[in-house]
């Protein structure tokens, strides 16, 4: 399924590389900080026409999201706020907006601008239109105004005055910051029938406001994401409100035999008279009940512990594990607060039982342990949609891709997604590393190389409130591994104290990390992470050096920079002239790379491509060489960290590929592109992420087997064969009886000789791993050179290490054509289709088909996406056969018959039916 919306940029990355508030009383209305409960997924592209009126039920304990808004620039609205926010006000000529929508997202959905992800269309959108406030206005109907009514929200960028039925109920000085949570008591203003809620949203500037920015990721949106990007809920209840319900878990490690649960919730009397509330419910099959006397407007914390409810001491708990290590069971907490036997409010939360620890090892690197088991973090940097449009299906597709690649973690540097994202991560077993972003206002007080302004006293309050709100929102999600309270810079003593106080008050259950870079904060000490790059091209051998960004310690963001997408994607993002400049001119400014001066061109990448593979002869040749360049580099990056994970000295403990995906149509930092197409970067990562994997070491020529399964694997047979590019074997060795311990350990099977008679300058290495029955369990093919890449380590800077001479891989250009036959068939069931493709190298000579790619396409030749392949971009020697499977949604064929397009480095393209 193609995304239903287009994609998003980082500002220029500085030399070091590269942010709300509690509500106050307004007009006598109660505004308190409480846990958010954001509603289900919404369509990010609302239909044109009148905005639907939100019908609010009278049932106590309900939380109804506003269904959408009519929006308009204040430059075009001359009426008073009181008039605009009163029922019956005409919104003729206003634009419809979804329940979570930036201004520009709404205008795009309304057809005001052409596709901003194509060419330079985004430049044509006038920024001046978004330098004034915009109105967000909607109506809701209430049948029973006697119920208490609250407006519960977060996600305002950058700030807003809030009006209800003609009266201001909160000022922008209080409703400030993208992450602050607010609850406004509207009971005195709500009336039977139609009511109006209006937000006067102020412009955003990430350098000035604690919101969201894009740094050097992509070209920033002209509206700077001003708007409302999370659901605004209308809560109904009785005299007593139930808030902040959560569960603290303590798992016995390492036995995992027992777990203690502690349940907490706040019970608040919002009436003018004393009441007695009955709090009842259940968790993990255990009934809970407590009588709570409350004075007028009093709040109490209700706690249930194993000491007073012995059944909260669980025997044989169902433990939550990251994917691949076990299951992802979740428990539910349900509570009801009643007054005089009548339900006044309800609360629900899901949670998982797991234990996370992250001590520093002997080398000062952070080493994560989940449920007592040491874990190499293999992650990717997450980007939301450039216009912050939420699409649950699209998010889930990307998380499934992460698992398909063998990743276990997603890092969110700012842009912390809504609750549904973390629900999906919980269900799929994907760990998450949320945290604040670098270099803009979030680090304005501590990062002298950033662009953010220094903080005022109000900013400190916004930051603390942001931390409190996100901690309360995220604490029960078992997928959350840590929170990074700094990125490129660690907080100072004041900021750190405020963050830690907020986290402590929220019963934050997992480690807090002071920064993603190698920084320290006064209380937490060293981060145990490094941010040493690279962010631009380096050769594959770079990753094996235990220095800079090489495979040692925890590298929180790193990659070899550019990730050129497939030609299918390039056609959807560039004009013919732009495509021509892409391969002809390495010094050309690439709008779809970055606004950064450092990353504005593809000069470093293109020099390596031409130096190693030969100058491109055209766009097709450029793209196919880029896929080889990316495959070998991404594979080496993940393989090096995996090999070094269990080393006795300076082990690798974590790796976050920068980045996993892009928020728009991009030429860099993406394992999968905006349209979920897959190229060399994707399949290089997938190859490295095999559960049981044979790999080559660029530093010492060893062939090792890495076992990411929990149990020992063996006996295995490892075979290494060296070939000339014509397919002639020059060296062959087989080793039997290989045993690989589990949990990420590796064993060296053999070492390739440094010199082999008759080996040409460019050669191939085929590694095969078979089990005791002779079945192939891992195959890996490398293209190497007797002339190595040479790095100038002394000239290393923050984003790369220069290469002074390149490996000679030009011999690949002289490989003879290798025809590959393909047979394909498809079966469909329950909305899912599986296409099975059998490939055979039908050549009569000895030349292999290098990096043979299979794309599932429709009748027009358009890729069917997303798709998960069992394997792809495979290399076959004459007579060899392999069978691949592709799993996808049947609906994404759009009624067409499936076909498969086969092509490769030296394989002529052909397309066959897959009925």
Judge whether 488 counts as a catalytic residue: yes
CA 713 to CA 702: how far, in whole Å?
19
Q: How many helices (H) and strands (E) does the chain have?
A: 11, 51
CA 756 to CA 589: how far, in whole Å?
44
CA 532 to CA 330: how far, in whole Å?
37
Count CA within 13 A, CB hemisphere, residue 675: 21
Integer-rounded Cα radius of gyration of the chain: 29
CA 438 to CA 440: how far, in whole Å?
6
Out of 404, 440, 557, 690, which one is annotated catalytic? 557
CA 758 to CA 332: how far, in whole Å?
66
Provide the 3-class DSSP secondary structure of residue 601: coil
Handedness of CA 435, 440, 445, 449 (dihedral sign): positive
Which tokens sit at 140?
């809701």
* Cis peptide upstream of residue 158 (ω within 30 degrees of 0): yes
* Cis peptide upstream of residue 534 (ω within 30 degrees of 0): yes
CA 295 to CA 298: how far, in whole Å?
5
Q: 812, 814, 779, 909: which is closest to 852 by C-alpha? A: 909
User: Cβ–Cβ contacts within 10 Å for residue 504, how many?
Assistant: 11
CA 464 to CA 533: how far, in whole Å?
30
Q: 174, 232, 164: which is closest to 202 by C-alpha? A: 174
CA 794 to CA 759: how far, in whole Å?
32
- As a 3-state breakdown, the chain gives helix, strand, coil percent values, each rounded to 5, of 20, 35, 50
Count CA within 13 A, CB hemisphere, residue 688: 29
Query: CB–CB of 787/808 below 8 Å?
Result: yes
Judge whether 853 counts as a catalytic residue: no
DSSP string, 192-208: SEEEEEEEEEPP--TTT
Out of 440, 488, 496, 536, which one is annotated catalytic? 488
Q: 7, 10, 6: which is closest to 595 by C-alpha? A: 10
Query: CB–CB of 210/466 below 8 Å?
Result: yes
CA 424 to CA 410: how far, in whole Å?
12
10 Å CB burial of residue 732 (0-12, 13-18, 19+) is exposed
List the catalytic residues.
Answer: 488, 557
């Amino acid at each position: 399924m193609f995304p239903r919306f287009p994609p998003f940029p980082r500002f220029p990355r500085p030399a070091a590389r590269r942010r709300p508030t509690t509500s106050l009383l307004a007009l006598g209305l109660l505004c308190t900080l409480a846990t958010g409960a954001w509603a289900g997924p919404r369509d990010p592209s609302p239909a044109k026409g009148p905005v639907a009126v939100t019908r609010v039920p009278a049932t106590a304990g309900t939380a109804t999201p506003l269904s959408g808004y009519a929006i308009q620039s204040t430059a075009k609205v001359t009426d008073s706020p009181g008039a605009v926010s009163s029922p019956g006000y005409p919104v003729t000529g206003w634009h419809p907006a979804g329940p979570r929508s930036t201004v520009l997202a709404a205008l795009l959905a309304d057809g005001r601008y052409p596709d901003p992800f194509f060419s330079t269309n985004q430049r044509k959108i006038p920024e001046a239109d978004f330098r004034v406030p915009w109105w967000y206005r909607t109506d809701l109907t209430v049948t029973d105004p006697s119920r208490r009514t609250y407006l519960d929200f977060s996600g305002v960028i950058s700030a807003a005055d809030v009006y209800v039925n003609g009266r201001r109920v909160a000022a922008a000085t209080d409703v400030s910051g993208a992450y602050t949570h607010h609850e406004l008591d509207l009971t005195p203003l709500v009336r039977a029938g139609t009511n109006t809620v209006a937000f006067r949203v102020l412009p955003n500037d990430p350098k000035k406001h604690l919101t969201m920015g894009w740094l050097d990721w992509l070209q920033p949106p002209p509206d700077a994401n001003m708007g409302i990007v999370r659901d605004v809920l209308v809560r109904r209840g009785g005299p007593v409100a139930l808030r902040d319900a959560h569960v603290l878990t303590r798992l016995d490690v390492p036995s995992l035999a027992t777990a203690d649960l502690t349940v907490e919730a706040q019970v608040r009397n919002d009436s003018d008279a004393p009441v007695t509330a009955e709090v009842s419910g259940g968790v993990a099959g255990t009934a809970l009940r407590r009588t709570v006397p409350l004075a007028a407007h009093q709040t109490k914390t209700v706690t249930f512990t194993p000491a007073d409810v012995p059944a909260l001491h669980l025997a044989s708990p169902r433990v939550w594990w990251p994917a691949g290590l076990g299951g992802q069971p979740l428990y539910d907490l349900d509570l009801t607060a009643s007054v005089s036997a009548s339900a006044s409010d309800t609360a629900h939360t899901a949670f998982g039982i797991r234990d996370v620890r992250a001590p520093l090892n002997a080398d000062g690197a952070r080493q994560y342990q989940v449920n007592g088991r040491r874990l190499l973090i293999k992650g990717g940097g997450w980007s939301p949609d450039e216009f912050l449009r939420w699409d649950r299906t699209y998010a889930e597709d990307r998380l499934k891709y992460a698992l398909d690649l063998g990743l276990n973690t997603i890092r969110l540097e700012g842009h912390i997604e809504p609750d549904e994202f973390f629900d999906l991560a919980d269900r799929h077993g994907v760990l998450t590393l949320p945290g604040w972003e670098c270099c803009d206002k979030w680090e304005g007080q501590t990062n002298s190389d950033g662009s953010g302004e220094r903080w005022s006293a109000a900013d400190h309050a916004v930051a603390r409130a942001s931390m409190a709100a996100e901690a309360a929102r995220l604490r029960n999600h078992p997928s959350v591994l840590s929170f990074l309270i700094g990125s490129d810079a660690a907080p100072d003593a004041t900021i750190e104290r405020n963050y830690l106080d907020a986290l402590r008050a929220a019963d934050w259950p997992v480690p807090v990390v002071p920064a993603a870079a190698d920084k320290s904060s006064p209380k937490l000490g060293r981060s145990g992470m490094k941010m040493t790059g690279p962010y631009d091209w380096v050769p594959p051998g770079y990753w094996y050096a235990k220095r800079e960004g090489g495979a040692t310690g925890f590298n929180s963001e790193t990659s070899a920079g550019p990730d050129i997408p497939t030609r299918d994607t390039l056609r959807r993002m560039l004009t013919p002239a732009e495509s021509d400049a892409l391969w002809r001119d390495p010094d050309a400014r690439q709008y779809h790379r970055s606004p950064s001066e450092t990353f504005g061109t593809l000069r470093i990448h293109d020099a390596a491509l031409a130096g190693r593979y030969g100058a491109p002869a055209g766009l097709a040749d450029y793209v196919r060489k880029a896929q080889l360049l990316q495959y070998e580099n991404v594979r080496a990056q993940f393989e090096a960290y995996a090999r070094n994970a269990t080393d006795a000295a300076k082990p690798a403990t974590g790796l976050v590929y920068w980045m996993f995906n892009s928020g728009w149509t991009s030429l860099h930092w993406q394992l999968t592109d905006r349209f979920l197409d897959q190229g060399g970067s994707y399949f290089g990562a997938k190859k490295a992420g095999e559960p049981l994997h044979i790999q080559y070491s660029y530093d010492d020529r060893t062939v090792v087997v890495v076992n990411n399964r929990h149990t020992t694997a063996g006996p295995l047979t490892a075979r290494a064969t060296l070939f000339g590019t014509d397919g002639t074997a020059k060296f062959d060795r087989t080793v039997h009886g290989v045993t690989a311990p589990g949990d990420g350990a590796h064993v060296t099977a053999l070492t390739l000789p440094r010199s082999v008679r008759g080996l040409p300058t460019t050669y191939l290495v085929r590694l095969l791993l078979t089990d005791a029955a002779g079945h192939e369990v891992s195959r890996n093919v490398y293209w190497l050179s007797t002339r190595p890449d040479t790095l100038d380590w002394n000239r290393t800077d923050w984003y790369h290490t220069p290469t002074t001479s390149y490996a000679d891989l030009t011999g690949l250009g002289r490989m003879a054509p290798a025809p590959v036959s393909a047979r394909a068939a498809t079966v469909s069931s329950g909305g899912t289709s599986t296409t099975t493709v059998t490939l055979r190298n039908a050549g009569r000579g000895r030349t292999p088909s290098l990096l043979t790619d299979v794309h599932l396409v429709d009748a027009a030749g358009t890729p069917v996406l997303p798709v998960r392949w069992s394997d792809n971009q495979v290399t076959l020697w004459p007579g060899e056969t392999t069978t691949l499977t592709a799993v996808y949604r049947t609906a994404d064929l759009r009624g067409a018959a499936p076909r498969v397009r086969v092509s490769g480095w030296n394989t002529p393209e052909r397309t066959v039916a897959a009925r």
